[in-house]
Amino acid sequence: MRTVQLWAQPWWVNLLILVPVVAFTAWRKKGILLSGRQLLFIAVFAAAFGFVEAAAVAYLRAAVGVLPGYHGTLADVRRSAPEFYQQAQALREFPESLLTIELFREAATIVMLISVALLAAPRLRERSAIFVWAFACWDLSYYSCLWAIVRWPASLKDLDVLFLIPVPWVAQVWFPVLVSILSLIAVAGCVTKKTV
C-alpha cells in the first residue's frame, strides 16, 4: 500500500497550497462581488471542460497503447486500466510529438480558464476569484471524470503529472484535490451578495 507523499516535485509546486490562503486573505476584507448564479454557470462550464480533458487524456493513452482494454467496451477499460494506468510512469512512454501536443493543450486550458474569468467580471479581484473557482471546479471534475472513465486514480495516493509547463509537475492526487477544495472554500467564503 502506497504511503502519503507530502512533497510534490519540483519543490516550488508545493507553494500552490498557498494560493487559496493568499486569495482568501486578499479577498476577505472587501469581499468579491459575484452572484451564486455566476459561480454556478462557471462551475457548470468547468465541470464540462473537466470531462473534455479527461476524455482527451484517455484518448491519448489509448493512442499510445498505455490504456488496456480500450478496444472493447468502457467496462473492459474500467476492469483492466486501474492496475496498469500509471499516469506518472506513462509520461516516459509518450512519443515526443504527442508530448508537444500535450504542452499546447495544457497552455490552451489555462487560456480558456483565463478567458472565462475575463468575460465574466469587470474587475481584477472578481476575475482572479473566477479563475481560481473555475480552475478548482475543472480540476475536481477532471479527476472525477477520469475515475468514471478508466477508474483512475484508484487512490488519492496515486502519483499524477499535474502539468508539463515548464517541467513536469508530479504529486500524489490528494495534493491538487486539496488545493482545489481549499480554493473553492476561499472563493465561497469571500463572496458578497450581488444581484444580477
How confident is the model over 63-104, as pLDDT tens digits? 877 777 777 777 777 776 655 555 556 667 677 888 888 899
Maximum CA pair distance of the chain?
Answer: 55
Does residue 184 form part of some domain? yes
Does residue 169 form part of some domain? yes
- Of the two residues 179 and 149, the one the predictor is more confident about is 179
Does residue 1 form part of some domain? no
Cα–Cα distance measured from residue 103 to residue 21, given in angstroms and rounded to the nearest whole number: 28
Cα–Cα distance measured from residue 133 to residue 20, given in angstroms and rounded to the nearest whole number: 10
Contact 141, 47 (CB under 8 A): yes
Residues above pLDDT 70, as percent of the chain: 89
Q: What are phi and psi of 185, to 5 degrees?
A: -65, -40
pLDDT at 26 over 60: yes
Does residue 81 form part of some domain? yes
Burial of residue 124, with CB atoms counted within 10 A of its CB: 0-12 exposed, 13-18 middle, 19 or more buried: exposed
Domain enclosing residue 132, as ranges: 11-192
Please state which of the ranges 7-11, 58-62, 160-164 shows the lowest mean pLDDT: 58-62
Does residue 97 form part of some domain? yes
**pTM of the predicted model, to two decimals?**
0.89
Does residue 2 form part of some domain? no
Does residue 6 form part of some domain? no
Domain count, the chain: 1
Angle, CA of 82, 148 and 112, to the nearest 5°: 110
Does residue 3 form part of some domain? no
Handedness of CA 169, 173, 177, 178 (dihedral sign): negative
Cα–Cα distance measured from residue 47 to residue 49, given in angstroms and rounded to the nearest whole number: 5
